[in-house]
Amino acid sequence: MGVGDVSKRILLGRKLRSAQLGETLLPKRIALPVFASDALSSVAYAPDEVFIMLAIAGASAYVWSWKIAIAVALVMAAVIASYRQTVHAYPSGGGDYEVATVNLGRTAGTTVASALLIDYVLTVAVSISSGAQYAAAAIPAFLDHEVIVAVAMVVLLTAMNLRGIRESGSFFAVPTYLFMFAILGMCLYGFIQMATGTLPDVESADLEIAPDEGWDQPLTTIGLLFLLARAFSSGCAALTGVEAISNGVPAFQRPKSKNAATTLLLLGTIAITMMVSVIVLARQMAIRYVDPHDIDKLTRDGQPLPDDYDQHTVIAQIARAVFIDFSPGFYFVVTVTGVILVLAANTAFNGFPVLGSILAQDGYAPRALGARGDRLAYSNGIVFLAVMAIAFIVAFEAETTKLIQLYIVGVFVSFNLSQLGMIRHWTRALATERDPAERRRMFNSRIINTIGLTFTAVVLVVVLITKFLAGAWITILAMAFFFFVMRKIKGHYNSVELELAADETDKALPTRVHAIVLVSKLHKPTLRALAFAKATRPNSLEGVYVSIDNAETARLLEEWDDRNTGVPLKVLHSPYREVVKPIVEYATAIRGANPRSVVAVYIPEYVVGRWWEQLLHNQTALRLKGRLLFTPGVMVTSVPYQLRSSQILRDREEREDARVRPGDVRRGQTEGTDRQVQ
Amino acid sequence: MGVGDVSKRILLGRKLRSAQLGETLLPKRIALPVFASDALSSVAYAPDEVFIMLAIAGASAYVWSWKIAIAVALVMAAVIASYRQTVHAYPSGGGDYEVATVNLGRTAGTTVASALLIDYVLTVAVSISSGAQYAAAAIPAFLDHEVIVAVAMVVLLTAMNLRGIRESGSFFAVPTYLFMFAILGMCLYGFIQMATGTLPDVESADLEIAPDEGWDQPLTTIGLLFLLARAFSSGCAALTGVEAISNGVPAFQRPKSKNAATTLLLLGTIAITMMVSVIVLARQMAIRYVDPHDIDKLTRDGQPLPDDYDQHTVIAQIARAVFIDFSPGFYFVVTVTGVILVLAANTAFNGFPVLGSILAQDGYAPRALGARGDRLAYSNGIVFLAVMAIAFIVAFEAETTKLIQLYIVGVFVSFNLSQLGMIRHWTRALATERDPAERRRMFNSRIINTIGLTFTAVVLVVVLITKFLAGAWITILAMAFFFFVMRKIKGHYNSVELELAADETDKALPTRVHAIVLVSKLHKPTLRALAFAKATRPNSLEGVYVSIDNAETARLLEEWDDRNTGVPLKVLHSPYREVVKPIVEYATAIRGANPRSVVAVYIPEYVVGRWWEQLLHNQTALRLKGRLLFTPGVMVTSVPYQLRSSQILRDREEREDARVRPGDVRRGQTEGTDRQVQ
C-alpha cells in the first residue's frame, strides 16, 4: 500500500467523519435561547437605569418613563429590522466586523473589532454585577458584598470555561425559556391585578425622592430634554446583545438566513414586550428607584431612611409585590433572572474566542488564536477576558449603573459602523443589480438600514454627550488601545510577509548534508536516532559527544567500539560542563567550512507522560534546539523515543481533543461523541 | 576543508581557550574572605544566643558564659582540625556529600545532601534576619519592621543573583577584612580599656533579668547541666559555615589541599578569637540580654521597662559602649557586621547551584541543573532558595534566636556524617597502606576525625534533646522531604535507564524515508524546508497543506504549480480550522501503512528576536512538534529561517553566555573577559 493510497483513504475518511459529526445545526427553538440570553437579560437592568436617571429630577419625572420605554422600543425595532438585513446579506457569521470591513474598509473593521472586544469584557462585568444584585435580593447575606460575589462568579465561570464546559443547546434552552416565562408571567399577572384594581404598590412606593440640586425647580425645556436624553440613552442598554444572532447565522438550520431573521424578529418582540411591560408596571406600582450611590436622596415622611435600608432591583420589587401572597413566585423570578445574567456573561466567554479567531485569520491577532484546538491560546483568551472583567467590576464596585455608561458606547459604535456599512452594501449592490423586483427589495433594505443608522447615531451622540465624563471616555481609551495593538500586529505580520516573500534566488539546493547525531549515552533513543539518521543517507554522518568527565567518556568510547555502529564518534571536551555551546560551535564551524552544505543535527528525545517527568528530561535538548535555530544552514531533527509513561499524556491529549469547546455551538460546529441538540 | 579538519581545529581551539581563560585560582589571601564570610559572620549572632539561653536562670548564670565560649571554641577547633583532614583526602570539592557518599553509601550521602539543602535555606534566613537586627540598630526607622526589612533584603539578593552578579574575589575581600578589623579592633580596644580600668558598662548593664519560672531557685545539678547544654548548643551556631572551604578546594592555588588546610586553620583561629573575645568582653561589660520574645523579663530597679525599649545585639551594645566618645566607630562596626551577614547569605546563593549540579550529576536532581549555562534551571534554583528562605523568615518573624534552633540541627547532621565517613576513609586506607610513615599520618588523621566525631556527636545529641520541640523537628521533617524527593528522582532516572538500555534488537535500520514538508504559504521558509528536505534525498517527498479556506487553497495550488517545485502537494481538508490533528493523523497513517519506514516531517520555522514576536509566530509549529513526538516512527525536523530581528536575541544570548555566573569563583572557574582576581 503506497503513500498515495493511504492519503486518499485518510482524506475520504476525514471528509466522511466531518460530514457525520461536524455540523449540528440549531432549529429556531434552540437557536433562540442560545443567542437570546444576552439580549433578554438586559431587561434585568435597563428599566432600573431609566428610573435612576429620571429620579434626578425627583419622582415626578417618572411620568416620562413609559414614553422613554416606547422610544427605546422604537430604536430596538429599528435595530432588529436592520440586523434582519444583515443576516441575509452576510450569512457567514462575520457579523458587524465583516460588514464594516467589507464595506467601509480595514480601519472601520478594526474599530468595530476594538468595540466588540470591550463589549465582551463589559458584558461579563455588567451581567455579573447585575447578577450579584439579584443574588443579594434573594440571599440577604450577600448584601453589601456584591463585589466579592461578582468576582467569585467570574472566577467560577472562568474555571468552567477553562475546563471546557459544553455550550449545548439545552444548557441554554431551559433557563432562557424559564426566564421568559417568569418575566412575562409576572407582568401578565400584574396587568391582571391592575385590570381588577388589586395591583399592590412596591416596597419603595411610600418613599420620596429629593431631586438633585438644580433640578428641584420646574424644568426648563433644555433641562427636560437633557434629562430625557440621559434616561433614554441609559434605557438603550436594553439593546445590548441583539447583534449576537448576526454572528451565529452558520449555526442555524437551513434556510439559515431566513431562520436567523425569523429568530431575530422573535427575539425583538419578546425583548420589547418585556422591557415595556416592566417599565409600565413599575411606574403603576409607584416605584422609587435611585442611584445606589445616592441612596440618601430617598426619604420617608421627610425622615432619612435607616442605615440598613436596601434598595432592590426593579424586577425584584415588582416580583415581591405581585407575589406578595406567594413567595415562591418571587424567588422563582429572582433566581431565573440571576441565572440568565450568568448565562449572558457566559456568552461573552463563548463569543470572545470566536472573535479572536476571526481577527487572527485576518492578521489582527496572534495567529495561534485562529487555529482550532490550541488550548493554550484559547485559555489565554479566557483568562484575559476574565481579568479585564474583574478589573472593571472591582474598579466600579460592581455597580451596574456605572458600568452601563461604559457599555453602551462600545455597543453603539459597532451598531453605527455596521448600519453605515449596510447602507454602502446596498448602494453598491444597486449599482449592478438590474432586476426591478430585486432592486426594490434592496431599496427597501437600504431604507431600513438608514432608519437604523439614524436611530443608532442619535443614541450614540446622546450617549457621548450625556455619558462622556461618566465613564464613556474609558471605553474610548480602551478601544483606542486595542485598535493600536491590532494595527501593530497586522503591521508586523505584513512586514514579515514582505521579508519572507519568495523570489528567484531561493531555488538553490544544498550540495551536501552533514549529519551529526547527539550522543549522551548509548541507549535506545541514541540507537534509534543513529538508525534514522543513517536511513537518510547523508553525505557524512558522525556521533557527537560532549565530554565533561574523563572516566565516563572512556566508558562510552569503549561501548561505542563494542557496538560497532559503523559511525565515527566525535568527542568535544567541555571542562566546565557546558553542553549547548560546544555543539552549537561545532555545527557552526562545519557549516562555515562548507557554506553550500546543510548540517542536520539529530537529537534523541525521550517522550514521557507525567508533568514532573518532563521537568526531569529533555531540558538540555530544548535549549540546544533553541540555540541551533539561530544558526544558518542548520536543521534540527528530534528523534522521539516514547517511554511507556508517554501513553498517559497521549491518552489525555486525545480526551481533550474529543471535548467540544465553548463557542462551537454558535459556530454551528460540534465534534466528538456528544452531539445531541434537542 | 573537511569536517575532520574543522572538528580538530575546534577541539584545539577550545582547549587552548580553556587553559587561558578558564582557571583563575585563588591565593590564600583572597580564598580566606571568599570562604570565610559565612563562618565569621556567625560571631554576629552566636554570642547573643549564649547569653539568651543563660538568661533563663537570670543574670547570675552569666558567670558560665566564658566557660561555654571555651567549650564552643574547643568543638570548633576539633571540627576545623577534622576538615583539614578532609581537604587533604577529598580535594575535588565534593565536601561532606562526597565524603558521606563514598565512605558510608548513597543513603548517607543523600542525607547529607538534604541537610545541606536546608542549611543553605537557613543560612539565608538566619544571616538576613540577623542583618535586619543590625540594620535596625543603626537605623531606628527599621525597628519593629525587621520582617519587612529582611524580606526586602532577600528579594534584593535574589534579583542580583538572577541578574547574574559577579562573585569576584575583591567583592568579598574588602568587607570581610574590614569586618575582621572592626571586630578584632573593637575587642582589642575594649581589652585595653579593661586593662586600664576604663572599660565602660553596656547600655543594658543596669537592668535585672527575672529568671524563668522554675529557674528562680538555686539550680539542681540536672537543671544546671540542662541550662549549660542549651547555652552550649546555641553557641555552636558559631560553627556554621566552617565546612565551606572543603567544598572549594579546587578554587585554591596549588598546592590546593595544603593551601586550603592553611586557610582553614587561619579561619578557625580568627573565628575562635572573635567569639571568645566578644563573649568575655560582653560579660565584663555586664551585658543583660534576653530572648526578644521575653523582653518583659528585663526590669530596671524592679520597674518594667518602657514600651519603646529596644534591645540591641551584643556586638552593637559593646560597640556603642566602647566607642562612647567616637560614634563613627559604632556605626563602622554595625555597618560592616550587617554587610558581612548579607555576604554570608549570598554565599548560599552561590553554593546552592553548585550542590544542585553535583546532585544532578549523580541523578538526585533534575539533570538540567548539572549542565553549566542553563539559565532557566539556575534561575529556578535561586528562586526556590529565596522563596523557602522568605517563608522561614516570615514564619519565624525574622527572629534569629528561633531560626538558630532549626539551623544547628542541619549543620551538625552533616558534620557528624562527614566525620564518620572520614573515619571509615582512614580505616580503609590503613587496610592497604604499608608505608609506616604514611600509616602513622593516617592513624593521626583518624584520631583527629574521631575526636571531631565525638564532639559533634555530643553537640548533635544535645541539640536534639534541647531543641527538638523548639523547632529542630521542622528541620528533620524538611530533610526527610528532600531525602524522599531525591530518592524518587534517582529511582525515576534508574527506571528510565533500564527501559532505555540498548539490546541486540535495536540495530534494524528503517527501510524507507517518507518525507513530508509542511506548507502554510509558499514563502522563503517553505522553500528552504523543501530544499533541505530534497537534499536529504528521501524515498518519497511531498508537501502537505491543511486547507481551511477554499479560496486560499486555490491560490496556493496555483502558486505551487507556477513555482514548479517538482514536489507534489497534498491538501488535507480541515473544515473546522484544525491544523495539528490532520497532520498527525496523516503521518500516523503513512507510518501505519509502512511499518518499517520512518516518516520525516519538515517544519519551516521563523526565528524572530523580540519576545512579542515569539508570541505571534511558531505556536502551531510548537504544538505540532509536541504532538508528533508521541507518534512512533516519526521524526520531526525544524528548518529555521532567521528573520532579521533574530539577531537581537542572538546577540543577547551571546552577552549572557559571556557573563560569569555566581558560584563560578568557588568552583575555581571563571570564563569570559573579566578574570582579574587581585
A7, A516, A650, best to mutate vs chain B, most B CBs in 10 Å? A7
Measured between beta carbons, the chain B residues lying within 8 angstroms of A5 are 593
**By the CB < 8 Å criterion, does B625 face chain A?**
yes
Query: CB B620 to CB A590 under 8 A?
Result: no
Least Cα separation, residue B493 to chain A (angstroms): 8
Least Cα separation, residue B431 to chain A (angstroms): 26
pLDDT value for B154: 94
Determine the residue of chain B that is closest to A658 in CA distance. B581
Question: What is the C-alpha to C-alpha distance for residues A153 and A394, in angstroms, rounded to an integer?
Answer: 13
Least Cα separation, residue A20 to chain B (angstroms): 12
Residues A515-531 have a mean pLDDT of: 90
Contacts of B179 (CB under 8 A, 6+ apart): B37, B40, B41, B336, B337, B339, B340
Residues A417-430 have a mean pLDDT of: 92
The DSSP secondary structure of B398-410, one letter per residue, reads: T-HHHHHHHHHHH
Q: Using CB atoms, which residue from A532, A577, A657 is nearest to B372?
A: A577
Question: What is the C-alpha to C-alpha distance for residues B199 and B287, in angstroms, rounded to an integer?
Answer: 13
Residue type, A678: Q
Three cell numbers, residue A394: 472591582
Measured between beta carbons, the chain B residues lying within 8 angstroms of A631 are 640
Measured between beta carbons, the chain B residues lying within 8 angstroms of A537 are 536-537
What band does A645 get if pLDDT is binned at 50, 70 and 90?
confident
Three cell numbers, residue B281: 568582653
Number of residues assigned to chain A = 678
**Strand ranges, E, within A213-338:** 298-300, 303-304
Three cell numbers, residue A104: 467601509
- Cβ proximity of B237 and B231 under 8 Å: no
Which residues between 12 and 71 in chain B have a beta carbon less than 8 angstroms from any beta carbon of chain A? Answer: 14-15, 18, 22
Beta bridge partners of A537: none
pLDDT value for B507: 63
Q: Using CB atoms, which residue from A522, A594, A638 is nearest to B502?
A: A522
- Taking CA atoms, B547 is separated from A502, B516, B554, B668, in Å, by 21, 16, 9, 58
Residues A361-381 have a mean pLDDT of: 78
> Taking Cα atoms as reference points, which of B249, B309, B237, B241 lies closest to residue B275?
B237
- Cβ proximity of A305 and A295 under 8 Å: yes
**Is residue B497 scored above 80 in pLDDT?**
yes
Measured between beta carbons, the chain B residues lying within 8 angstroms of A649 are 630
Measured between beta carbons, the chain B residues lying within 8 angstroms of A641 are 500
> Taking Cα atoms as reference points, which of B245, B325, B235 lies closest to residue B282?
B235
Percentage above 90 pLDDT, chain B: 41
Q: What is the mean pLDDT of chain B?
A: 85
Residues B619-633 have a mean pLDDT of: 84
Least Cα separation, residue A517 to chain B (angstroms): 13
Least Cα separation, residue B3 to chain A (angstroms): 6
Query: CB A14 to CB B573 under 8 A?
Result: yes
Three cell numbers, residue B132: 535586619
pLDDT value for A663: 58
φ and ψ at B603, to 5 degrees? -115, 115
Determine the residue of chain A that is closest to B614 in CA distance. A366
- Report the range of poorest mean pLDDT among A187-201, A371-385, A397-411, B79-93: A371-385
pLDDT in tens, A57-113: 888 889 899 999 999 999 999 999 889 989 988 888 778 898 999 999 999 999 999
- Report the range of poorest mean pLDDT among A256-265, A404-413, B602-611: B602-611
Contacts of A195 (CB under 8 A, 6+ apart): none
What band does A615 get if pLDDT is binned at 50, 70 and 90?
confident
Which residues between 430 and 459 in chain B have a beta carbon less than 8 angstroms from any beta carbon of chain A? Answer: none
φ and ψ at A90, to 5 degrees? -130, 80
pLDDT value for B168: 60
Which residues between 524 and 563 in chain B have a beta carbon less than 8 angstroms from any beta carbon of chain A? Answer: 524-528, 531-532, 534-538, 540, 542, 549, 563
What band does A341 get if pLDDT is binned at 50, 70 and 90?
very high
Residues A49-54 have a mean pLDDT of: 91
Strands A634-642 and B634-642: antiparallel
Determine the residue of chain A that is closest to B515 in CA distance. A536
- Cβ proximity of A246 and A90 under 8 Å: yes
**Is residue B4 scored above 50 in pLDDT?**
no
**By the CB < 8 Å criterion, does A615 face chain B?**
yes
Q: What b-and-e string marks burial along A485-522, b requiring 16 or more CB atoms within 10 Å of the CB?
A: bbeebbebbeebeeebebeeebeeebeebbbbbbbbbb
Least Cα separation, residue A499 to chain B (angstroms): 8
Query: CB B642 to CB A630 under 8 A?
Result: yes
Q: Using CB atoms, which residue from A511, A563, A637 is nearest to B635?
A: A637
What band does A504 get if pLDDT is binned at 50, 70 and 90?
low
Strands A303-304 and A298-300: antiparallel
- Report the range of poorest mean pLDDT among A4-18, A291-305, B92-106, B542-556: A4-18
Determine the residue of chain B that is closest to A645 in CA distance. B496
Q: What b-and-e string marks burial along B586-601, b requiring 16 or more CB atoms within 10 Å of the CB?
A: bbbbbbebbeebbbbb
Query: CB A635 to CB B532 under 8 A?
Result: yes
Measured between beta carbons, the chain B residues lying within 8 angstroms of A576 are 18, 22, 372, 669, 671
pLDDT value for B37: 87
Omega prior to B255 cis, within 30 of 0: yes
CA A546, A551, A557, A560 torsion-angle sign: negative
Question: What is the C-alpha to C-alpha distance for residues A338 and A130, in angstroms, rounded to an integer?
Answer: 8
Measured between beta carbons, the chain B residues lying within 8 angstroms of A540 are 3
Query: CB A531 to CB B510 under 8 A?
Result: yes
Beta bridge partners of A300: A303
Contacts of A190 (CB under 8 A, 6+ apart): A199, A277, A281, A284, A285, A318, A322
Question: What is the C-alpha to C-alpha distance for residues A171 and A252, in angstroms, rounded to an integer?
Answer: 17
Most confident segment among B22-26, B145-149, B481-485: B481-485
Contacts of A282 (CB under 8 A, 6+ apart): A47, A51, A65, A202, A289, A314, A317, A318
Most confident segment among A670-674, B42-46, B301-305, B572-576: B42-46
**By the CB < 8 Å criterion, does B493 face chain A?**
yes
**By the CB < 8 Å criterion, does A573 face chain B?**
yes
Q: Using CB atoms, which residue from B528, B531, B579 is nearest to A371?
A: B579
Query: CB B535 to CB A513 under 8 A?
Result: yes
Beta bridge partners of A571: A545
**Is residue B225 scored above 50 in pLDDT?**
yes
pTM for the full predicted model: 0.74
Q: Using CB atoms, which residue from A14, A523, A616 is nearest to B492?
A: A616
Three cell numbers, residue A629: 535555530
pLDDT value for A36: 86
Residues A47-60 have a mean pLDDT of: 89
User: Which residue has 534591645 as its cell numbers?
Assistant: B311
**By the CB < 8 Å criterion, does A675 face chain B?**
no
Inter-helix orientation angle A146-163/A327-361, to 10°:
50
Residues B316-343 have a mean pLDDT of: 91
Determine the residue of chain A that is closest to B578 in CA distance. A372
Question: What is the C-alpha to C-alpha distance for residues A204 and A285, in angstroms, rounded to an integer?
Answer: 9
**By the CB < 8 Å criterion, does A509 face chain B?**
yes
Q: What is the mean pLDDT of chain A?
A: 85
pLDDT value for A507: 63
**By the CB < 8 Å criterion, does B357 face chain A?**
yes
pLDDT value for A673: 33
Q: What b-and-e string marks burial along B373-397, b requiring 16 or more CB atoms within 10 Å of the CB?
A: bbeebbebbbeebbebbbebbeebe
**Is residue B22 scored above 70 in pLDDT?**
no
**Is residue A247 scored above 70 in pLDDT?**
yes
Residues B585-600 have a mean pLDDT of: 90
- Report the range of poorest mean pLDDT among A619-623, A625-629, B505-509, B672-676: B672-676
**What is the H or E stretch that residue A638 is in?**
strand A634-642
pLDDT value for B646: 81
Least Cα separation, residue B510 to chain A (angstroms): 6
Least Cα separation, residue A419 to chain B (angstroms): 28
Query: CB B653 to CB A627 under 8 A?
Result: yes
Count A/B contacts: CB-CB distance under 8 Å.
300
Query: CB A535 to CB B513 under 8 A?
Result: yes
- Cβ proximity of B248 and B32 under 8 Å: no
Q: Using CB atoms, which residue from A527, A538, A632 is nearest to B502?
A: A527
Determine the residue of chain B that is closest to A357 in CA distance. B577
Residues B307-323 have a mean pLDDT of: 89
pLDDT value for B660: 56
What band does B165 get if pLDDT is binned at 50, 70 and 90?
low
